[in-house]
Amino acid sequence: MSEAPVIRTERTSAASTQSGARSWLAGAVVIAALVAAPVVSLIAIAMRGSGDLWPHLIAYVFPQTVADTMILLAGVGVLVMTIGTGLAWLLTAYEFPGRRIFEWALLLPLAVPTYIVAFAYLDILHPVGPVQTALRGLLGISSPRGLWFPEVRSMAGCIFLLGIVLYPYVYISTRAMFLMQAGSILEVARTLGASRRRVFLQVALPLARPAIAVGTALALLEALNDIGASEFLGVQTMSVSIYATWVNRSNLPGAAQIALFMLLIIVSLILVERWARRNQRYVSMAQRSRRAAPRRLEGWRAGVAIVLASLPVLFGFLLPAIYLTDQAIRRIGFAGISPEIGREIVNTMTVAAIATTLALALGLVVAYAARLSRAPLAEASLRIASLGYAVPGTVLAIGLLAPLAALDNALATFLGYAGISSGLLLTGTSAALIYAYVARFLAISAGGIESGMAKLSPSLDHAARTLGETAGGVMRRVHLPLLRPALGAAALLVFVDCMKELPATLLLRPLNFETLSTHLYGEAARGTYEDGAIAALCIVLVGLIPVILLAKLSRRPALAYDARQPGARSAQMAQDILAAQAPHDIPQSSER
């Protein structure tokens, strides 16, 4: 008789768990559908085209744009892999003066969008700019054309400038992988007679290949998404062609067809990279492993290390920042600060903050649904919701235009029956822009939260459920306190990316709605670089704060909690229950 209540309680708990999982799964499916909607719409728009544009595209547009795009991606890929991987190994395997400063200083180029770097260097390296003027003065040359100097407005210049800004994507992921590698593995290789160079090439580098591939893929997606830098530097990429076909030629179906072709290239690149790693498996239990002791460098070797670590910071952040500061001070001294800049700062930060909040909330739903449910639909929803980052802003904007316009018309018709004139509630306001930001950067939020949840043992959930918590209660009182570092890192990354996003902002912003990025693009397009310096400096300064916070956050423990926070007691109770059962796994790394 005494066992019956227990059986009923267990059945009730199991039924409650299944009900909660279904609710979270339904939410994840809806979110995935919203992210996939622009791609489906893009196909529908492309099918409306007659195909008359393709002969012109094949004869005059594609040969140049496809060649420029492939050359740009190849060059940027090689550069970011070389710089990012080399710096990651330098700062994990060696000790030299200033190393702790460089650990976070090498992240600073993330605060400078690619189009701002191009904007700055076009003026810095101009024939009458400060660099060439100073060189002519030293050499006694009076004519601006009398000195040969590498042309920044070229493919090589575009590759270099994109590379020195985007290498942190590889540096961050690869450095984290190097730090996770067990010191015993590297030391065994050394005891077998392998040199440090051979240990790096044959042990550390192969084990870090997944991180290098992920970082490089992110950098290439950013390069492919770029409009401003490529257009300023005279490189005709496919993103520039999509923008020109839609805006300059007013041919939306043609732009959609080019966008689909571009999307096909992106998917092909991702599949090729995964196919190349199809027979490789990596296992790491480095949370409990001992890190390899870095080798101390002294004398000229330390000097070389400092120079190598300084150059990317110098070219990727310091020179553009110093130039923008100087030009902004001159502009303020000459004409003061325009009141438009204040409105643009408010517009930029408002839409970025709203999009970041929504991205975190939706990312939490899809990641938690995948944790609760074993159904393939949950995993598929998570992957579909993360596809937005692989879709360039120009492609996403074209795909969003048709469904949002149709929804606007439906709302206007519905409200019209009640005598209410609604206007364009979505495409006529910043709602469409926020939708684009959330759809594109939801991958960052969902991926960061999924990674944080992967570090939490399922036993934490089981222990909390035995204490009577529902699925939502487990999330609120156990997971959220433990996920604060992951949520903070994801929020900072999403906010910075929303603030810097140019292509989607250009195409989806409502009338008379300017952000800092669109203001800068307009000034650069008109050639009035000095007028855009203030907006560019504001973007860098606002973006600098989250990057510095991200650098500090990355050095904190992954499972920190504050006992003063609500729910921390439940989280600690679940940890205490788990502590006696936690296995002591043997650190291991292998590749098959």
Closest by CA to 256, choosing from 386, 55, 397, 409, is 397
Tens digit of pLDDT for each residue in 49-108? 666 666 766 777 778 888 888 899 899 999 999 999 999 888 888 888 988 888 888 888
pLDDT at 422: 63
Task: Determine the Cα–Cα distance for residues 341 and 339; give it in Å rounded to an integer.
Answer: 5
Q: Is the pLDDT of residue 458 over 80?
A: no
pLDDT at 38: 84
3-state secondary structure of 59: helix
Banded pLDDT at 468 (limits 50, 70, 90): low
Q: Is the pLDDT of residue 559 over 50?
A: no
413 or 567, higher pLDDT = 413
DSSP H helical ranges for 226-338: 228-232, 238-243, 252-276, 300-313, 319-335
Residues in CB range of 382: below 8 A, 6 or more apart: 28, 32, 366, 367, 369, 370, 446, 450
CB 260 within 8 A of CB 245: no
* Mean pLDDT, residues 318-338 taken together: 82
| DSSP secondary structure letter of residue 389 | G
Out of 147-156, 185-194, 345-354, 428-437, least confident range: 185-194
For strands 282-284 and 94-95, give the pairing: unpaired
pLDDT at 586: 28
Banded pLDDT at 18 (limits 50, 70, 90): low
pLDDT at 528: 67
pLDDT at 291: 60
CA 66 to chain centre: 24
Banded pLDDT at 281 (limits 50, 70, 90): low
Q: Buried (b) or exposed (e) across 2-40, using 16+ Cβ within 10 A?
A: eeeeeeeeeeeeeeebeebbeebbebbbebbebbbbbbe
Tens digit of pLDDT for each residue in 21-66? 778 888 888 998 888 888 888 887 777 766 666 676 677 777 888 8
Q: Is the pLDDT of residue 409 over 60?
A: yes
CA 509 to chain centre: 21
Banded pLDDT at 357 (limits 50, 70, 90): very high
Domains of the chain and CATH, by start: 17-46+337-579 (1.10.3720.10), 49-278+302-336 (1.10.3720.10)
CA-based torsion, 555, 557, 558, 562: positive or negative: negative
